[in-house]
Structures are given as structure tokens and as C-alpha cells.
Structure 1
């Protein structure tokens, strides 16, 4: 179970968070994507190598870290997170906080690191979550980050024993999103992102994904849809 996100970004975050299927112990995921996308926005401009390690306790408490190369902020993003997740039959819930840390941000004079809090509920393969950052710095990185909230609905629906259809839609709002969109020439003050994809479980603990990702941003290259291919391997320690 990957708590922060899959190694390909936004693939099945909601379904993973709220599945309640993880056994206690330590798990590891490593992989690569043709483009690191986060909430509809490209983070690399090319391929990314990613991975994380998680610890889950029977009580529902979990914590972990996840990292990826990026195309700004010195070139590295590392996320640290802690939370609590529990399932009651088909219904589940999750609360967690994530610190998005950019350890090399001083190299380009940016101030990107951001603390975010999130809560979510799930029913079967579908989940709804809301994340909020009082000072969201990772969009602009000028040290003057404003508040931002992200509402997302996602699901992963089995087609066969090894193939699933994945989908998500997100809505980003807040003062920082207004600043970000104004800075790239958009007249909007919120934006939405969308993802449709397929994921396949392969032998040896590998998973492959193909995603179509788009936003409704009408400025710059942020309105260009992306096709993203990913491959990861997960295993328990």
C-alpha cells in the first residue's frame, strides 16, 4: 500500500489510501514515469525516477517518505507523511499530513517546501478527499505562499484480475491558485484536472500504467494533455 501516491503521481491515490487492505509492516515501491504529473501539472518536463518506503501499523497509523526528481527547485522533491487510515466494511476513512520538502531549493533561490493536511472517505473502489495547505509554496516558490485547497474524487475499477480502469477529477482553489494562474496569464482563479487510465498487475510485483492527464487551464503549456506511461515494483520488507 502506497500512502502518499503511486510512483506515477496521481494514478490511484484515492483507492490506495482508502483500501484498508495493507498489512502491518514495511513496504517499498520504486519505478519510473515518462513524465511526473502532480494534480495535472508537469513537474519534470521529461522522465522521472521515483520511489518510497512506508510503514503501516495494525492500529491504522502509518508513515513514510517518497521522492522524485523534478525540473525545478534544485532537482529533487522528497515528501514526508504521517496519517491514520481505517476501514469498516466497504467504508473507510483517512487523515494525514504531508510535508513537501525540496532539499536543494536554495540552489535556485526558491522557497518551495509546503505542509499540507488532508482528510478523505472511501466507499468500495471510490474515494473523496480534501487537502489544505495554509501556506502553499510549491506553485510559485517566492516565500509568500497563500492558502490553497484541493478536492479530488478518484477510483480504480477492476476489469479483469490483473487490469483496472483508473479515473480521477480534482478541483484546486484558494489565494495561491489565483496567484499561480495570474502568473501564467490565465484569467481564471481556480482550475480542474482530469485523469483516465489503465493499470495492469504484472508478475514479480510489477505494475504498469498508461494515463491521459489534462486540465482546464487556458494558458501556456498547462492546457496541453499528457499521455504518461509508468512502471513500478512494490515489495514488502
Structure 2
């Protein structure tokens, strides 16, 4: 969700198609040399440790929570995400719609915000749109932000995954958060195998933006 990196809770529901639904609860943990969200570090280029729990039902419903340390320089030390949605396939086309709430419980002010998102996928290609529903109460500009992202992933030698990403953030909220223009692009490429990921990230926020590298390792397991 990827953030991404995209973050990430349990219940038992009856499927609308069956009285005997199948549910799965999984957990994930990861460590990374940096935490990037839409091309920007959330840890002042420091390392991050994260983890989450996910619930999935065969009806297509899912819900989850995810937490990671952050460093914004304002005494905020961690991010807590809550999300839920529906996913499935129709005629070979995958879809995913849902809502995610980004919370910062120990922030000095009101920094929480939420987004509605929708995604389509076909074979190796994916397209996703996320739209801001609300932002922190002390924001001085109009609450407006749209994020569009295009991704592609391929399996190459020895079951290694090669992935590409391009995204665009736009709206008044972008300028409020970044102090730059009201829109920018971010780009990424990564290779992953056996839980290890090596990636490169860049934005066009200003001419001095360098390409940044990160390495991470993650584990997923059933509960």
C-alpha cells in the first residue's frame, strides 16, 4: 500500500454469498533503512521498524492496521494506520476500493488525515487514485489532495520481482505539507526477493532532489 509502503485490523463476518465464509488473519513485520511515503522520507532519512495485522474474508472484504516510527521534527514519533476495503476480480481485471486513516497519536497538534482510494490491476500493470477526505484541523488552506500512481511489476531471474512506480500528488494540501508547489511527481524502482527489497526513490520537488536508496527486509505469517 504501499505508502507507500504502502498500512495496515480483526473481525468475523458472514459472506453475502455463503453462510460459511473463510477468513484469514496474517501479520507482518519489517525493518528498513528509510521510510518513504510518496517519494518523501518520513524518518528524516533514518531507519524504520514497522508491523501490522490484516484480516481477509473470501467475500473480498479486508481490514487492517499498520504502525511505523516516524520523525517529523515536531515530537511525533509514530504513525498508526487503519484501513478497510473490498477487493476482487472481474473479467481478468482486478479491483480494490477502500478507506485509510493515517493517525499520529503523540503529535503535538491534530495531524491525522484520511483518504478514499480505488485501484485497478491487469496482469503486471496497476493504476490507483487516492483522494483526501479530511486533514488536520489546524491546516490553513483548503483540504484538497489527489494522488495518482501507476505501477508495473515483473518476475525476472530466479523469482526476483522487478517493480517500477510513478506518482503525482496535487492540491492545496500538498503545498501546505511540503512548502513547495501544489503538485509534484515521485518515481521509484525496486527489486525484491525472499523478503529483501532494494529500491531507489526520487521526486521533482526541487532541482536539488537526489536519488535516494533504501534496503528493507520483511516477514509475513499467519496467525
The question of a shared fold, defined as TM-score above 0.5 by the shorter chain, is answered with yes
Give the TM-score of the pair, scaled to structure 2: 0.85
Runs of 4 or more above 4 Å deviation: none
Corresponding residue for residue 79 of structure 2: 77
Paired residues of 1:135 and 1:148 also in contact (CA < 8 A): no
Question: Is the CA contact (8 Å cut-off) linking 1:111 and 1:143 kept in structure 2?
Answer: no
Alignment of 1:54 onto 2:54:
yes
Indicate the structure with greater helix content: 1
User: Which of the numbers 198, 214, 220 marks the counterpart of 1:228?
Assistant: 214
Give matches, 1:1-237, under 5 Å: 4-5=1-2, 9-10=3-4, 24-45=23-44, 46-72=46-72, 74-88=76-90, 90-105=92-107, 109-137=108-136, 142-144=138-140, 146-181=143-178, 183=179, 186=180, 188-201=181-194, 207-218=195-206, 223-237=209-223
Give the deviation of 1:156 after TM superposition: 1.7
**RMSD over aligned Cα atoms:** 2.1
Deviations 1:101-136 (A, max 9, x none): 11101xxx2321001100111101211010001333
Larger Rg: 2
Shift of 1:161: 4.7
TM-score (norm 1): 0.80
How far apart, CA to CA, are the structure 1 residues paired with 2:98 and 2:150? 17
Count residues in correspondence. 205
The 1-side partners of 2:97 and 2:211 are apart by 31
Q: Which runs of 5+ in 1 are unaligned?
A: 14-22, 202-206
For CA contacts below 8 A with separation 6 or more, give which structure has more relative contact order: 1
1:179 Cα deviation after fit? 2.8
Contact 1:178 1:189 in 2 (8 A): yes
